Amino acid sequence: MIAKLLVTIGVVFYAVLVPVLEINDTHVFNQAWAPHARLHETWQLFTNTAIGVYSVWLVWVREDLKLASLLTLFVTGGFLMAYWLRDGYGGSMVLTDGSENMILGINLGLFAYTLAILLAGIAVAMDRRNRDAQADA
């Protein structure tokens, strides 16, 4: 049960919280962004939410924590790669109003997505240990 909750928390970060944080004037409705960029942002939000819904189904119905965790790694890892490579393509986490969402002095996306990957890894390890213990019994 705890392993399922850990994976679900990571999914909620990218499938629920990010859309809540980005469907506003800083992202989707940001008039400073090219319309084409806003389309790609909206596409990414819908895609990640759909992957998240599927991942929650995998966790709670199919009990496939490994695949749900792999999908979490793909979504959050994609963000982390974009974050680490941002200087090479002129990207930034600073919003058009000059602010940056931070938690504990770390960019919120970097913090949440690194945490999502760690939680998924812990969940897979816990699930493997539980399955091994059941096989030994």
pLDDT at 48: 97
pLDDT in tens, 22-81: 999 999 999 999 999 999 999 999 999 999 999 999 999 999 999 999 999 999 999 999
Residue 133 pLDDT > 90: no
Are the C-beta atoms of residues 116 and 13 closer than 8 Å to each other? yes
Q: What is the mean pLDDT of the chain?
A: 94
Quote the tokens at residue 109.
């996306």
How many other CB atoms are found less than 10 A from the CB of residue 102? 12
Quote the tokens at residue 129.
């240990």
Domain ranges across the chain: 2-136
More confident residue, 52 or 137: 52
